A and B are shown apart, each in its own frame.
Chain A
């Protein structure tokens, strides 16, 4: 598939989960394809980074479901921050662990998972849709008829589609991460009705163990509906061991949040480049040759 083929499978109003974490291994070529499209009113579920910031900046995200939105070396995502402060996007802000349990519940097709996270904090006030449950079991050390503990029921974060980026994959959709952390990409795939996966390189199935152990094959084709080969597809986020974050590019992106003219120039030059190859060609033209390889 191409990025545009993936976008053709999506529609406005969908709830879309995006893998990676902050400014790390984000499926950026797929995100840019959404930015070039007419898709709108999206609910975006993400351990947020520039994916969230960009979809806020173009106004295509109606709601963000998140625990944080960060660029790592720039702690606050400036486009997201601006959208929150101007009230142009709705927010479902959860504890980071509660967010994980929501994905897990969706993956396991149960309505919720219980947790103590959120009790005592403002998470419940900020999210009036959240409910608590009372454990049907007595507390540890309690008697049989002692009342059970009250817990927060984190509802399943069911996704219409998930977008993830892997280091390698085979053509049938078996994905491989070669960096230090998978984050939640496998759970995003399992929580979604359909999952589309970009990767740095498509390899033959019999080559999947050439670069990593069996432990790196955490996304089986069972949970994947389409594969896109996108070298440097996570740029400008990091994608170790293939490449690090392009900090110069990220800083340039971040600076556009307070500068409409700079945003317009950035948008037309990079985001509207006609396809991933055109984007890569524009990176080549940068004085630094397009950042780390």
Chain B
């Protein structure tokens, strides 16, 4: 292991931090950096979480990303269909991507433009509508810009706080957008109005840079801390155990 932490490693640790306190739930990060973050959290401060091998089992050991042949310590069969039982039980925290996200946390990964005939068909609703009304969700946006952090999303796949405000007590109790991690900073909704707020800026990133890259009025506290750096133990786990092939670098494009 050598060299200071890089932005991909800082983001992985920020995603790991989103799982802190979750205990025995199914942590379901989607995407390379989120998976690294989830596996890192379980290997360090959240040992009770369960995680899939991204295919069809729950694996108890710390798997390297992108290695379909890595030996799994199988603790349960989890075919795709069974994941919905977990979703609907509420015992899950998913990290999804967001092609667009707004100040109330509404997420779009379905389409750009009018969904009836989109300018760009994206992934579709996927499981977002069900996820948000059943369990905790966080988002990973590898390129923070006014195209991704927008005033209003074109399609609401995952509903934000304004969209669930009038729904049932059960839904409001289950709905939580814990964190948004981008390549510039970390964001949350820990305020009475439930509007997106800057929680920390990544080292070397100015608050002004984040505001310029955000298409809505972001809440900014008086003091904005820096996102914490990975510990030596975390860097070792990321570099030598979870992602020895450096796949995490591919999710970043140079600014």
Interface residues of A (CB under 8 A from B): 21, 66-70, 75-76, 80-81, 84-85, 87, 91, 93-98, 100, 115-123, 126, 139-140, 149-150, 180-184
Contact = CB atoms under 8 A, between A and B. Distances in A.
Contact of B79 (A80, A122, A139, A181): A181
Interface residues of B, number: 43
A121 B128 contact: yes
B122 A76 contact: yes
Interface stretch (B14-22, B163-171, B240-248): B163-171
A67 B155 contact: no
B88 A139 contact: no
A258 B201 CA distance: 41
Which of B130, B158, B171: most chain A Cβ within 10 A?
Answer: B130
B76 interface: no
A85 B111 CA distance: 10
Contacts of A184: 81
B170 A93 contact: no
A120 B164 contact: yes
17 contacts: A68-B123, A81-B120, A84-B117, A96-B84, A96-B127, A97-B127, A118-B130, A119-B133, A119-B159, A119-B168, A119-B171, A120-B163, A120-B167, A140-B170, A149-B170, A182-B79, A182-B81
B134 to A, nearest CB: 7
B130 A95 contact: yes
Contact of B129 (A85, A87, A95, A140): A95
B117 A85 contact: yes
Interface string B96-128: 000000000000001100011111111111111
Name the 9 nearest CB pairs between A and B, nearest first.
Answer: A120-B159, A117-B130, A180-B56, A121-B129, A84-B121, A95-B129, A120-B163, A181-B79, A97-B130
B137 to A, nearest CB: 12
Which of B110, B116, B124, B134: most chain A Cβ within 10 A?
Answer: B124
Which of A118, A120, A140: most chain B Cβ within 10 A?
Answer: A120
Given A121-B163, A139-B168, A180-B79, A93 B129 contact: no
Contacts of B123: 68, 70, 75-76
B13 to A, nearest CB: 26
A interface, over-half SS: loop
A177 to B, nearest CB: 10
Contacts of B81: 100, 182-184
A234 B88 CA distance: 32
Contacts of B158: 121
Nearest to B53: A180
A180 B122 contact: no
B66 to A, nearest CB: 12
Given A116-B130, A121-B158, A122-B155, 4 more contacts: A85-B118, A94-B125, A116-B134, A126-B115
A213 B119 CA distance: 48
B57 interface: yes
A189 B134 CA distance: 29
B55 interface: yes
B80 A120 contact: no
A130 B80 CA distance: 25
A122 B110 contact: yes
Interface string B130-147: 101110000000000000
A167 to B, nearest CB: 15
Contacts of B235: none
Given A120-B167, A120-B171, A180-B79, A95 B56 contact: no
B157 A121 contact: yes
